[in-house]
Homo-oligomer: A and B are copies of this chain.
Amino acid sequence: MARTSGSDGEKTEAAIREAAVLLIARHGFEAVSMRQLAAEVGVQAAALYRYFPNKEELLYSLMREHMDGLIASWEKVRPSSADPATRLAAYTANHIRYHVERRHSTHVSNMELRSLSPEKLTAILKLRTAYEKELRQILRDGAESGAFDIEDTALTAMAMIQMITGVIVWFRPDERLSVADVTRKYQTMTMRLAGVEQTEEARHVYALDEFRA
């Protein structure tokens, strides 16, 4: 056999990416074989090598796509000139929205870092650090202006990120809780961690429907 009827490189690559994210999220990178992935796509294993030179490059490509998308999504909604509390609420909302919508690729990007070579690992961590730096800056600005009350901005930023990323571990949108509900509740919590007073807190969180779309 050879080229199949109706075959299309672009569609095949997209199908590979989608199946790979799902399989790797479910079973882990090392546990997924190229044959298993190919079978899921409906193709022979050898065909995968037309799109990715090897297994590790496939993983790396998935992670880069995820991180690039995350940063791009933030740059799109970022209210650069707003006050720190507004920016914090926006950061929280965007983070949760992006991760909830991409549970599987988030899992891959967070859990499979050890399967990357040192150079590729460094590249991904660089993107992650750049993204986290945005939050640290918000916290620092708020602490300086007196809007926030934070003892250790670096530590608080790490704690916040862990907290809001953790939403994908337990949250599934259902009838009880919508993404908007969860976002609002997490916004309240990041405000509390930032040391915003209760009245100010509510004013910022509830006024931020625009960041929960």
Contacts and interface: CB of A to CB of B under 8 A. Distances in A.
Nearest to A154: B170
Interface residues of A, number: 33
A64 to B, nearest CB: 20
Copies in the complex: 2
A163 B160 CA distance: 7
A122 B169 CA distance: 16
A207 interface: no
Contacts of A28: 28-30, 114-115
Contact of A155 (B29, B182, B193): B182
Contacts of A188: 151
Interface of A: 26-31, 111, 114-115, 151-152, 155-156, 158-163, 165-167, 169-170, 177, 182, 185-186, 188-189, 192-193, 195
